[in-house]
Amino acid sequence: MRLKDKVALLTAAAGAGIGQATARAMAKEGAKVVVTDAHPKRFHGIAQDIAKEFGVETLGMQCDVTSKEQVEGVVKAALEKFGRIDILFNNAGINRLTPVVDMTDEVWELVINTCLRGTFYTCRAVLPSMIKHNFGRIINVASVAGFIGMGDGQAHYGAAKAGIMEFTRCLAMEYAKHYVTANAIAPGFIYNDFLSRIYPPEEIKRMHESIPYARKGAPQDIANIAVFLASDEGEYVTGQTICAAGGSYMH
């Protein structure tokens, strides 16, 4: 029960991947979880399932992180229900594979706004509560795409993820005096079924084959790191980007 009675707000937490795995992992450790997702329906069912399985209080809400109003509304509702937000897990992201020469303003803005601006909106919204209580754990999901040159139409995604890493370092510096930590996790290829809608089969095969570790990565691997960073054991780690890529990239 490393997170007993802590309140965790998670974005993009009702899908099949890292967000839901992390919500469940934090609930298993005793946290009250706020499950948010851009999907208009599935957040409610996931929040109910987590409450039933782990015996913790939950709140499910729709949230498109590109909307400042929705982000602020979710934070307000969480504070009204729980009184505080101790942990923020920023998982919302999107990718649209497009070469730069063909990239429209709309595609660039969709990826940058979801990945980077959404992270800014959520962090800004929760910080007053964290400062008030002199406690906070901010965990932002970046990507190895923020470290390495990515071909195949991922310039906007790589730029956004690199931005998240630097934004995280700045947060760590600004709010360390309030006992607020800020860290990023940079996963390599972590498969879930939704990714088959983004990447062609040959690209998924190539990414799997690029991982030297004897098994492939799973959402739970990232959730385990997030729980550590949110717990007392991770208190003195701040401003870091932890790469979890099975050796496919070593930072």
Locate the domains of the chain by residue range: 7-244
* Architecture of the 7-244 domain: 3-Layer(aba) Sandwich (3.40)
Mean pLDDT of 46-61: 98
Lowest mean pLDDT among 156-165, 173-182, 186-195: 186-195
Please answer whether residues 101 and 80 qualify as being in contact, where contact means their C-beta atoms are separated by less than 8 angstroms: no
* Tokens 């009184």 found at: 83
Q: What is the pTM of this model?
A: 0.95
Length of the chain: 251
Mean pLDDT of 206-235: 94
pLDDT band at 200 (very low <50, low <70, confident <90, very high): confident
Determine the average pLDDT of the residues in 107-121.
98
Q: Give mean pLDDT, residues 229-239.
A: 98
CA distances from 73 to 67, 76, 154, 181 (A): 10, 5, 31, 24
Give me the mean pLDDT over the 125-153 stretch.
Answer: 95
The chain-wide mean pLDDT, for the chain, equals 95
pLDDT recorded at residue 199: 76
Instruction: Decide: 216 and 246 in contact? Cβ < 8 Å.
Output: yes
pLDDT at 112: 98
Catalytic residue among 121, 157, 175, 249: 157
**CA 105, CA 117: separation in Å to the nearest integer?**
15
Quote the CA–CA distance of 59 and 46 in Å, as a whole number: 10
**Is 157 a known active-site residue?**
yes
What average pLDDT does the segment 186-213 reach?
85
Tokens 């229900």 correspond to what residue?
81
**pLDDT at residue 161, as a whole number:** 98
C-alpha span between 17 and 19 (Å, rounded): 6
Q: What is the mean pLDDT of residues 118-129?
A: 98
Q: Per-residue pLDDT tens for 5-28?
A: 999 999 999 998 999 999 999 999
Q: What is the predicted pLDDT for the residue at 194?
A: 75
pLDDT score of 206: 84
pLDDT at 3 over 90: yes
